[in-house]
Amino acid sequence: MSKLVCENLTKAYGTKTVLENLQLTLESGKIYGLIGRNGAGKTTMLSIMSNQNPATSGRVTLDGENIWENRKALDRICFSRELNISAESGLAGYTVKNYLKTAASYYVHWDRAMADRLLEIFELKQKAKLGKLSKGMLSMVTIIVALASKAEFTFLDEPVAGLDVVAREQFYQLLLDEYAETGRTFVISTHIIEEAANVMEEVIILDKGKILLERNTQALVDSARYVTGLQEQVDGATGGLECHHAEVMGRSKGVTVLLREDEDLNPGFDVTVQPVNLQKIFVALCGEEVRT
Amino acid sequence: MNQRLTDAKSIYLQISQMIETDILRGILLEEERVPSTNELAKLYTINPATAAKGVNLLVDEGILYKKRGIGMFVATGATEAIRRRRKQEFYEVRLQELLHEAQSLGITKDELIAQINK
């Protein structure tokens, strides 16, 4: 099994620390979801993990070897970024065809037949200029680059941004097809959490430049409870447990609890217990406390 | 296999229950192959590891069995086994919930029996 590892990764721009002492291990053969609020550092992390951006300190290794300017390691990694069509990027004038040609020359395992097939599925015109494409169409181009790169470790940054709901579903189906066939490792960042929750085997939550949590998605969801009732009853049922995002309204209280293995709510209290989905867990962990 | 997934409980439990329900309804027959984990993953847009967990739960219970290199099959006697277990769950879980609710509403045992006999 291959491992891509971040060791004490820190990134600062001047006095602003974007990533702080990150520790993360990606194991091959899994689909990871990367979630975090805007500005949490997701894109910076992925760009450092693919040698597109130097770390201020710390390092990234693939099977023990530093990936920095290491061609052999980088042949196994693809980071398909969100396409930025600003004047400075100089990409607006590229046709889809030329852009894919550039990608093909960069990724040694490029699958031309797959890229052509995906162009057809997404109904993208090869002669279209990137500057003329909609946000969703640009996302399709980044998806094509990611899938056709055939890289062992493939990162997709917001691949479904701007895609309509049918195209998003289509993307997850294509991803699962490719995953079933090859067992490649994918890291997918997204803000549309619930749609991706069941696809990601592991979830990584990044908050303010730090890894808040990295866990099996289903295990995390199974461990979460939303507990409501009379304040004293809720406090009794949840005392000593890991509680997040308490909301108090008059006499009533609601709180999200993450149970560790072998833990359960304290018995004997009159409370309502409900399951919590990944999106709600994320809000409970990264949102501000609400008091009304 | 045409039911929808919900947020209400673990995905792998829903997968195993859907397979069970399909067996009870005669949609999947005994000694017939069930969809592979990759097929289930694609059908429900879920991670294959989650689908596998749901299927393995049924293997552990003897509802499904593995034929090496071919796939998963419904075991002989699976229908009866599922019915027996669900019946037990009905008495131990659902009926208890119902009795608990009846109690908190002040419904007496006689009133409840009268309702059932109506």
Query: Min CA distance, A172 vs chain B (Å)?
Result: 7
Low-confidence ranges of chain A (pLDDT < 50): 292
CA distances to A29, A197, A224, A276 from A221, in Å? 21, 10, 5, 7
Residue A214 lies in a domain: no
Residue B76's pLDDT is 97
Residues A254 and A164 placed together within one structural domain of the fold: no
Question: What's the whole-number mean pLDDT along residues B98-114?
Answer: 91
Query: Min CA distance, A219 vs chain B (Å)?
Result: 9
Q: Strands of A57-62's sheet, edge to edge?
A: A16-27, A3-13, A57-62, A65-66
Residue for token digits 């990694």?
Answer: A77
Indicate the residue among A177, A208, A239 that finishes a domain: A208
Give the CATH number for residue A111: 3.40.50.300
Please answer whether residues A142 and A163 qualify as being in contact, where contact means their C-beta atoms are separated by less than 8 angstroms: no
Residue A288's pLDDT is 65
Residue A172's pLDDT is 96
For B41, the closest of A176, A200, A222 (CB atoms) is: A176
Residue A231's pLDDT is 95
| Rg over CA atoms, chain B | 18
For chain A, how many structural domains are there in total?
2
Question: What's the whole-number mean pLDDT along residues B70-96?
Answer: 95
Residues A286 and A183 placed together within one structural domain of the fold: no
Residue B3's pLDDT is 74
Residue B6's pLDDT is 77
Quick one: B71 exposed, middle or buried, by C-beta within 10 A (0-12, 13-18, 19+)?
A: middle
Q: pTM for the whole thing? A: 0.89
Please choose, from the candidates A239, A242, A244, A245, the residue with its C-alpha nearest in 3D space to the C-alpha of residue A271: A239
Domain boundary assignment for chain B = 11-77, 80-117
Residues with Cβ within 8 Å of residue B98, at least 6 apart in sequence: none
**What range defines the domain where residue A254 resides?**
220-291
Residues A157 and A28 placed together within one structural domain of the fold: yes
Chain A residues within an 8 Å CB radius of B101: none
Q: What is the pLDDT of residues B27-80, one digit of tens each?
A: 999 999 999 999 999 999 999 999 999 999 999 999 999 999 899 999 999 999
Residue B65's pLDDT is 97
ipTM above 0.90, yes or no: no
CATH number attached to the domain at B11-77: 1.10.10.10
Residue A151 lies in a domain: yes
Q: Give the chain B residue nearest A276 (alpha carbons).
A: B7
Instruction: Tell me if B47 and A177 make a contact (CB, 8 A cut-off).
Output: no
Chain A residues within an 8 Å CB radius of B103: none
Q: Per the structure block, which two tokens stand in for B21?
A: 């329900």
Q: Where are the alpha helices (DSSP H) in chain B?
A: 11-24, 37-44, 48-60, 78-89, 95-104, 109-117
